[in-house]
Every structure is written in C-alpha cells, then in structure tokens.
Amino acid sequence: MTNVKRKTLIVLGAALLALLLGVWLWYVAARKGVVETRSGNSTTTRKASRPSSSPPATTISDAIPQPRLFKSTRYPPETPEEKALWEWWRAMEKADAKFEWKMPIEFYGKIVDQFGEPVAEATVRLTWTAVDDSHETEILSGTDGLFQFTGAHGKGLNVSVRKQGYLPTRNAGGGFEYASFSDDMFHVPEKGSPVVFRLQKLIGAESVYVFRAETMAKPNSPPVILNVEMGKFTDEGNLSFAVEFGGERTDTGPAYTIRVTGLNGTELLPTTEEFPFFAPEQGYQGSFVLQQPARRENYEATKSLKFYVKLAGGRYAFVGMEIALSSQGTEVRLSGGVRYNDKWSQNLEFDHRKWLNRQ
C-alpha cells in the first residue's frame, strides 16, 4: 500500500471517528434534557421542558375576537349575546383543540370569620389546570381579608383558605371554571365584588359536657321528653318531641309534622350554623314546627334539627337531633346530642381536651 493511500485511509478513519463521537455526545446531551442553541458567536443553554402554562405572545384569541363572557346554560342560544358566545366557542375549538386550558385566570377573594370580620394573613392555596400540567401556589390575605390572583392561564381554579386558630367551614373553598361558560362553576371575576370565604374563629372553649341521646317513638302518640341537664330521654325534662302523620301519603312516604316544645321555662332557637358554638341572647321561642308534605320529589324521611336552648335561669345549651321515619312508617327514631359547659354560659365551643364526661 502506497503512502498516499495509507494517509487517505487515516484521514477517512479519523473523520468517521469524529462523526461517531459527535453523535454520541449529542445523544448523551439529549438524554440529560440539555439542548445547546447557538446564535452568532454566543452559546446559550436551556433545559428541555414541557410547554409553559402561559400562552405565547401571539395567541389564537388575537385572531378570534372574544365576546363578553358570562354564564349561560341555555341551549340552543336565544339572545344575540348567547349566540355570540357559542360562535366564539366553536371558532376557538376549530382553531385550537386545547384552547380551554389556555384561558386567562383572574380571581378576587375575601376571607371573613363567623362575625363578618376580615381575616388577615390567612393562607390561600390555589391550584389550576393548564395545558401542560397542574400548578399550585400559596398567597396570604391582606389586613382587610382581601387577596387576588392574576397572570396564570388554564381551565379551572381551585381555592381553599386556612389559618391557625380557625376552623374551615363549608364555605372555605371552591372550584371555578374559566373556559366552559355553560358549566355551573363558570366564574366571571369582578374586583369590586370578591368571592367571600368563611372561617370559624375559635374563641376558646370552656370545660364542656357532651351527651348522646337516643330513643324510639310512635307517630301520633304522646311526645317523648328530653332532659337537657341529664342528656337523655326521660319522663320529665326540658324539650318534648312529637311526630304526627297526616292523611296524605305517596309511595315515598306519608305527610308528617314534627313539633318541638320547650317545657319548664325552656325556650329554643333553631339554627343552621355549621358550627353552633355561641348561643345568642335573644330570639328564642317556646316551640318549633316543621312540616313535610307527601310528595315524590324532594321528600325527606329524615330531618336533622339543631337548636340553641335557653333553660330557666338563663342557662344555655345546644341540642342536635336527627328524626328518622322507619321504612314501614310505623316508628320514629330520634338520635342526637346535648352540649353545654360547666358554667351554662353562651360559649358552646367544643374542645375534646376539655370534655368533662368523656368515657
């Protein structure tokens, strides 16, 4: 083999080796998720990632004018505004199948306690779904209880609030839709009308007695008597419960009336509070009547009642009672509880560490 041929083979082999080395280096870099982008004489390195939740500077919505969005569950649309919504929706779906996950998210909220007072420095947890993934962050409410969240893009937003020394209520969170205007959760943000969230402020529990009371009764029979002090049904006490069946009946059950009456100077105040922790001083009455008509829709064979109770001598208690008709309608089950503190004061907050008669 001549020297010329030998040199040619060496050059070709070196070139092939360099090519293989370059391919291997590129493969290693790609596996690590690193891509080098060269611009002129400079080199920048960026980490490969999924698409951002924020849309590009120029979006499809720039080319398709967006009408005023509002909640509309009626279909087919009737008004010009409703028709404009659906025309926009169909155009967006045709242009971008994922446009729902690219909607701008804007939210304004306010946190208050059970007295309507603003809750400052409460933690607000926000999670939202975007085109790439789910995201979350936490912010704090201001001294006026207000907070706001803007700048993100996605389809839905979940909000929950909390703070040490407060209990979360059923209104301490919620879900909000930003794309589908026909969804029940569709939300139109208004800075001047923030969504209100509620926390239950703990005021400090007293030492408390808690009782469980249960009994069976017959409809259209003499009432059963609850002794609030003893926390059980007895022959003598403070509250009477009676269930009376009416003449009407459907396949869901009979019409019936529940009567709760205060005895021996006792008065009661019905409440729907989630946390009945503080008994009002005024507003009590001697009796309470609840009627259930015989009907197929929204018939309830079980009723859950809650009362603040004011006994003779200005003593306060809380009574919760579930009254349920048997499937045959021949019996009524009463089960519930009684709570009061050792001073019989209006403070009925419960703390298991101060449960006096716990067994």
Tell me the β-bridge partners of 129. 134, 156
Residue 60 Cα distances to 3, 89, 90, 238, angstroms: 65, 12, 13, 69
Tokens standing for residue 264 = 């021996």
Asked if 253 and 325 touch (Cβ cutoff 8 Å), the reply is yes
Query: How, if at all, do strands 195-201 and 103-112 pair?
Result: parallel
Q: pTM higher than 0.85, yes or no?
A: no
Classify 80-201 by CATH class. mainly beta
| Number of helices and strands in the chain (H, E) | 3, 20
Q: 10 Å Cβ neighbour count for 70? A: 11
Asked if 277 and 288 touch (Cβ cutoff 8 Å), the reply is no
Residues in the chain: 359
**Residue ranges of the domains in the chain?**
80-201, 208-354
Each of the 359 residues of the chain gets a pLDDT tens digit; together they read 555 455 555 545 555 555 555 545 544 444 443 323 223 333 222 222 333 344 443 455 556 788 888 898 889 989 999 999 999 989 999 999 999 999 999 999 999 999 999 999 999 999 999 998 999 999 999 999 999 999 999 999 999 999 999 999 999 999 999 999 999 999 999 999 999 999 999 989 999 999 999 999 999 999 999 999 999 999 999 999 999 998 888 888 899 999 999 999 999 999 999 999 999 999 999 999 999 999 878 899 999 999 999 999 999 999 999 999 987 778 999 999 999 999 999 999 999 999 999 87
Q: What span, in angstroms and rounded, lies between the C-alpha atoms of 253 and 297?
A: 11
- Predicted local confidence at residue 33, as pLDDT: 37
Asked if 203 and 277 touch (Cβ cutoff 8 Å), the reply is yes
Burial of residue 73 (number of CB atoms within 10 Å: 0-12, 13-18, 19+):
exposed
